[in-house]
Structure 1
Amino acid sequence: MIKIILAEDQKMLNSALTMLLNLEADLNVIDSFTDGQIAWQQIMRQQPDIALLDIEMPHLTGLKIAEKINAQKLATKVIILTTFANKSYFEQAVAAQVNGYLLKDHSSEDLISSIRAINDGQTIYDPELVQSILSEVANPLTRQEQNVLQKMASGADTAEISTSLYLSRGTVRNYISAILSKLGARNRIEAIKVAHENHWL
């Protein structure tokens, strides 16, 4: 039996997740909380197999709980379950050595199978989030080039980009040329397509 403590501050979701997980013969939510500080105290006391944590909670965030579990070297495995596909949150979670970082928009079957796999020693990070983070790191454009590309994607022409970003038209053309070169694009439409595919827009 996999013993789970759930910390989720949305009461309806907390109750729904508790009932859902308890329907599985090998899963047991031994306690659930809407307050991060109380959840941490009970994780220390009960030392469950899995701590399933939301990020934003009163008094103590899920990430802070994860850091404390790591610092105390508890055997409890940590799964962050969140709506936030956020680079900063993800980096903090990795630094805290969480065992899973999952987004709430996936199916309950995915969550249940991930809990079992993580309990067996696997580390699971949401693949779409990881791809998004890697793409962001690999973005070859400077901040100003990204600004110009954003304007291009909204349909602005050179003159409109020049006006909105307070740049000369020649400077805008130079930025566009650099964008096309860095993205390996033949024209603006291709550049915008490449940027969208890599989550740079």
Structure 2
Amino acid sequence: MNTSIVIADDHPLMLRGLTDFLTSRGFNILGSAADGNTAYNLIVKLKPEIAILDIRMPHKTGLEIAEACQKNGLSTKVILITFDKEEEPYDQALKFGVYGYILKEFAIEEIETCISQAINGKPYFSNEITSYLNASTLEKKPEKIDTLTKSELKIIKLISENKTSQDVADELSISVRTVDKHRSNIVAKLGLNNKPTALVVWANLNKAYF
């Protein structure tokens, strides 16, 4: 469990609490920061596997850091923590390909699971926030979902359950190559970016519709 991590939060107690907890659990904390500029510089310099970032920080937000990591091709997987249950930052997180989105009140309970899934290439999002956003957007049918075929809807339903391409192929008795082709078509139809997390996040947020 020597996953390398950088943590950033402008709330001292939260920063210390997460750092102490993850250190006690055997994670390799490379550095910590109380503002976004310092956090981003640490990510560029130290190249951690995971960056756990507060969404709202001075100088550079967690979302801005996620965007910069994506733009500059950094391999660090970003996990965002927040007090807010808002649709806009969640949508931006999807756009910037983050691997985790956790409410702060559940951070200690969920962070290890989130890190584990991120390391394995699977995004993790707090059930509390996905349930809240599903409820608040239930009357707003997602755009372009009607363009998906029945086969694509079956696949995206399985993706919403965090199943891999191999899992989907096994369940539907088709090849992984066929699953990946369907995934590419779905991403194109929905206008998502090609980050592996983008489709999973969209599927989780809109699972009420398929």
CA–CA distance in 1 between the matches of 2:36 and 2:107?
25
CA–CA distance in 2 between the matches of 1:133 and 1:53?
21
Q: Which runs of 5+ in 2 are unaligned?
A: 141-210
Compared CA separation, residues 47 and 132, structure 1 to 2 (3 A): same
Aligned to 1:112: 112
Quick one: percent identity of the two aligned structures?
Answer: 32
How far did residue 45 of structure 1 move? 1.1
Aligned to 1:31: 31
How far did residue 136 of structure 1 move? 2.4
2:74 match: secondary structure: coil
2:106 match: secondary structure: coil
* TM-score normalised to structure 1 length: 0.66
Matched, 1:10 2:14: no
Which amino acid letter does the alignment assign opposite residue 7 of structure 1?
Answer: A
Aligned to 1:67: 67
CA contact (8 A) 2:81 2:107 kept: no
Aligned to 2:144: none
CA contact (8 A) 2:85 2:133 kept: no
Q: Please list the CA deviations of residues 134-188 of structure 1 after superposition, one character each: whole Å capped at 9, or x if unmatched.
A: 2322227xxxxxxxxxxxxxxxxxxxxxxxxxxxxxxxxxxxxxxxxxxxxxxxx
CA–CA distance in 2 between the matches of 1:87 and 1:35?
24
CA–CA distance in 1 between the matches of 2:125 and 2:13?
25
How far did residue 41 of structure 1 move? 1.1
* TM-score normalised to structure 2 length: 0.63
CA–CA distance in 2 between the matches of 1:49 and 1:138?
35
In the alignment of these two chains, the number of paired residues is: 139
Aligned to 2:91: 91
Matched, 1:129 2:90: no
CA–CA distance in 1 between the matches of 2:14 and 2:132?
26
Displaced runs of 4 or more, over 3 A: none
Asked which structure has the greater CA Rg, the reply is: 1
Aligned to 2:23: 22
CA–CA distance in 2 between the matches of 1:107 and 1:89?
18
Backbone CA RMSD of aligned residues:
1.4
CA–CA distance in 2 between the matches of 1:137 and 1:14?
32
How far did residue 107 of structure 1 move? 5.5
Aligned to 2:139: 139
CA–CA distance in 2 between the matches of 1:58 and 1:39?
11
Q: Which runs of 5+ in 1 are unaligned?
A: 141-201
Compared CA separation, residues 76 and 107, structure 1 to 2 (3 A): closer
Q: Please list the CA deviations of residues 105-130 of structure 1 after superposition, one character each: whole Å capped at 9, or x if unmatched.
A: 11624211221221121111112212
Higher relative contact order by CA 8 Å / sep ≥ 6: 1 or 2?
2
